[in-house]
């Protein structure tokens, strides 16, 4: 995993330096590249190889859309191929089974969500990020995307589908690790915090927002209540960071 370059011991070198977020984003983009399965199929060279990688991205993007729109059960390789406008043959060449397709999609979604999140965080000023806790709003916005919807479909399906569960849980954990590693790059104010505290702040924010999303539509009328919950989270993470 490319993220190794910044692993534990060497993390400090990057912290707080200008360009730290770019480093994190770069790490994630590298990771996204790894998601695409090895394209060293015999006979493929040059542009063809590039085209092949492009096709996979097209297929993965189409899978995300299908998952968000039709749910896990309805998302067949046939449906994905149709909506990506790619022949069944080409589809099978890249992903022979639904399991293969879904396995790649899990990585793809996880890294894409992470990349989108960090990209938006990098646009915040220090004051917005550290003092006002705007990271909470940024995370909330990533939850309202079809990427999250697709992720949720996979997460819910993996509760009852044993084969999917094995893959999903393994990847979700690896992703959690990567997240913890990258956090100090993106949120330098957390760099000297013990990992339990970083995890606690993260768990508080993600669990609450995901729970909010589970009940989201009822909140559309009482939008103020949902906003108060998010304002609270922004205050609470500051408190966790200050160590009380």
Partner 1 sequence: MTESNQLRLPDPTRVDYGEFNKSSRTRRQLLHAAMTHLAEEGFSNFSAGAIASRVNFTRAALLYHFPNRAALIEAVVYFVVRKRIEIYEQAMSSLSLDEKFGERLIEHAWDHLQDDSFKAFCELSTIARSNQELSKIFQPALNEYDRMRRQLAFTYFPESLLADPTLDLRRDLVRYLLEGLAQQRGMSYAERERTENIMRLIRELVTTKEGEGILSRAVNRQSALEHELDR
Summarize as ranges the residues that interact with partner 1 (CB under 8 A). Answer: 68-73, 149, 152-153, 155-157, 159-161, 168-169, 172-173, 176-177, 196, 199-200, 203-204, 206-212, 214-215, 217-218, 224-229, 231-232, 234-236, 239-240, 244
Closest to partner 1 by CB, 5 or 228: 228
| Contact in structure between 33 and 50 (CB atoms under 8 Å) | no
Closest to partner 1 by CB, 124 or 231: 231
In angstroms, give the least distance from the CB of 166 to partner 1: 12
In angstroms, give the least distance from the CB of 78 to partner 1: 16
In angstroms, give the least distance from the CB of 5 to partner 1: 22
In angstroms, give the least distance from the CB of 45 to partner 1: 41
Closest to partner 1 by CB, 91 or 150: 150
Closest to partner 1 by CB, 45 or 218: 218
Closest to partner 1 by CB, 109 or 226: 226
């Amino acid at each position: 995993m490319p993220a190794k370059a910044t692993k534990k011991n060497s993390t400090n070198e990057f912290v707080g330096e200008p360009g730290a977020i770019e480093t994190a984003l770069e790490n994630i983009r590298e990771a996204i590249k790894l998601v695409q399965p090895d394209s060293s199929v015999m006979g493929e060279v040059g542009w063809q190889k590039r085209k092949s990688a492009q096709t996979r991205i097209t297929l993965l993007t189409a899978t995300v859309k299908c998952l968000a729109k039709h749910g896990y059960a309805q998302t067949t390789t046939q449906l994905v191929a149709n909506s990506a406008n790619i022949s069944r043959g080409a589809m099978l060449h890249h992903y022979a089974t639904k399991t293969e397709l879904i396995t790649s999609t899990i990585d793809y979604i996880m890294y894409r969500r992470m990349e989108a999140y960090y990209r938006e965080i990098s646009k915040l000023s220090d004051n917005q990020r550290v003092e006002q806790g705007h990271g909470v709003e940024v995370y909330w916005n990533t939850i309202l995307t079809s990427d999250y919807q697709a992720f949720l479909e996979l997460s819910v399906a993996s509760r009852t589908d044993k084969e999917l569960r094995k893959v999903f849980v393994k990847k979700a954990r690896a992703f959690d690790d990567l997240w913890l590693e990258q956090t100090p790059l993106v949120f330098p104010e957390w760099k000297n915090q013990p990992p339990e505290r970083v995890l606690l702040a993260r768990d508080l924010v993600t669990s609450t927002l995901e729970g909010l999303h589970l009940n989201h539509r009822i909140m559309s009328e009482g939008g103020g209540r949902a906003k108060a919950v998010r304002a609270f989270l922004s205050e609470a993470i500051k408190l966790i960071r200050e160590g009380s």
